[in-house]
């Protein structure tokens, strides 16, 4: 029989996933978390720009993905499964942000950091234009959003179905 206290971690993880999804649905922004995510995004541009000027535009999104993935991996390596799951939820939450940004590649409705003109500085306008996919921005955003929600769902499922004694 499962001890009642063993239900708390998956329940809290489920609530966290629900709050992340609800916050995105209602406001599109989670103040503390997404402010940090935005800082990581912006830091990615010069970091990847050191490698190549052409990589700079990809650096923001790459950093948004790499940082939570690295955190999740470190928790996994240490066999701290709920830390790993929280890292995966953070990664998925960034996917929701990225989807929103991709969907804006043609519309240019989102405000950019520093009040920059989206016509000149929108990452995803540049990225999708390079690949000849600008007219597919909203479809790609849907795919990214579905992937993010699927990762959240898988993470919550794992929290409820994996035995406690597994790493």
CA distance 108 to 27: 18
Asked if 83 and 132 touch (Cβ cutoff 8 Å), the reply is: no
Q: Give the DSSP letter of residue 2.
A: -
Measured in whole angstroms, the distance separating CA 84 from the mean position of its chain's CA atoms is 15
Residue 61 CA to residue 56 CA, distance in Å, equals: 10
Q: How many helices and strands in the chain, by DSSP H and E? A: 7, 0
pLDDT (tens, 9 = 90+) of the chain, 167 residues, equals 455 557 899 999 999 999 999 999 999 889 899 999 999 999 999 999 999 999 999 999 999 999 999 999 999 999 999 999 999 999 999 999 999 999 999 999 988 886 666 566 789 999 999 999 999 999 999 999 999 999 999 999 999 997 664 44
Going by C-alpha positions, the residue among 61, 153, 63, 141 that lies closest to residue 102 is: 141
Taking the domains of the chain in order of start, what are their residue ranges?
Answer: 13-161
Query: Is this model's pTM higher than 0.85 or not?
Result: yes
């Amino acid at each position: 029989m499962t001890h009642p206290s063993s239900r708390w971690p998956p329940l809290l993880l489920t609530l966290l996933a629900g709050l992340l999804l609800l916050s995105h649905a209602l406001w599109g922004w989670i103040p503390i978390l997404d402010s940090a995510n935005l800082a990581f995004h912006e830091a990615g541009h010069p970091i990847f720009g050191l490698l190549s000027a052409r990589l700079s535009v990809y650096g923001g999104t790459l950093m948004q993905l790499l940082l939570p993935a690295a955190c999740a991996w470190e928790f996994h390596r240490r066999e701290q499964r709920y830390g790993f799951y929280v890292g995966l939820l953070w990664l998925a939450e960034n996917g929701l942000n990225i989807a929103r940004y991709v969907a804006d590649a043609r519309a240019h409705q989102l405000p950019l950091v520093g009040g920059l003109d989206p016509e000149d500085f929108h990452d995803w306008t540049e990225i999708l234009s390079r690949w000849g996919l600008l007219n597919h921005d909203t479809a790609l955003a849907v795919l990214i959003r579905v992937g993010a929600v699927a990762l959240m769902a898988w993470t919550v499922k794992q929290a409820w179905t994996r035995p406690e004694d597994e790493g």
